[in-house]
Amino acid sequence: MQRRSALKNLTMAFGGLLSLPGWTSGWTPESIGYFSNLSLSEEDTLAEIVETIIPETSTPGAKSLKVHQFAMRMINDCYGETAQKGLKQGLAITDDAAKQAYGKTFTAIEPKQRLDVLKKMAASTEPSTKQFVNMIKGLTIQGYQNSEYVMVNIQKYNMAPGFYYGCVPIAKAPIKAEKKTDR
């Protein structure tokens, strides 16, 4: 009986691993396709949030690598309905927090002010606000680190290390005969 349940659990685990999305590593905007269940202003807000988390320096920022599209796709494909609703609510809360603090929407304020708004939201006592910021921050880091640009140009990722030379002459080494001793 235990063998059957162990085999069943092993099969379920293997099936779960196969069903994970393969595009989460080394992704490009073209490989994940464009998907949005957000309005244009909400998508712009999300793009500015990810840019605030990883801004452009000598390397491209999260916005120019389109990490916000990665986050939208991950939330839609891999997260539950509560996270999908939490995304829309969190974007609205972000705009409201920016309006309360600076009198403008999140996309209209300066980068330092954006960072201040996100820090205040992360320190909030409201669990949904804190959860939204942590979710977007985690997805931004994951999306940025797994983007094709970062994998190839920064981490110098090599899918298969080493090289295969199929047609190379092999020098014959002399074979030494070993002495066998009878005991």
Is the CB of residue 148 less than 8 Å from the CB of residue 29? Answer: no
What's the mean pLDDT in 147-171?
79
Q: Residue 30's pLDDT is what?
A: 63
Is the CB of residue 49 less than 8 Å from the CB of residue 94? Answer: yes
Domain residue limits, the chain? 37-154
Is the CB of residue 29 less than 8 Å from the CB of residue 72? Answer: no
Categorize the per-residue pLDDT at 130 as very low, low, confident or very high, splitting at 50, 70 and 90: very high
Q: What is the pLDDT of residues 14-55, one digit of tens each?
A: 655 555 554 445 556 666 656 667 888 999 999 999 999 999
* Per-residue tokens: 145: 């680190």
Higher-confidence residue: 124 or 175? 124
Is the CB of residue 141 less than 8 Å from the CB of residue 65? Answer: no
CA distances 139 to 5, 147, 179, Å, are 35, 12, 65
Supply the pTM of this predicted model.
0.69
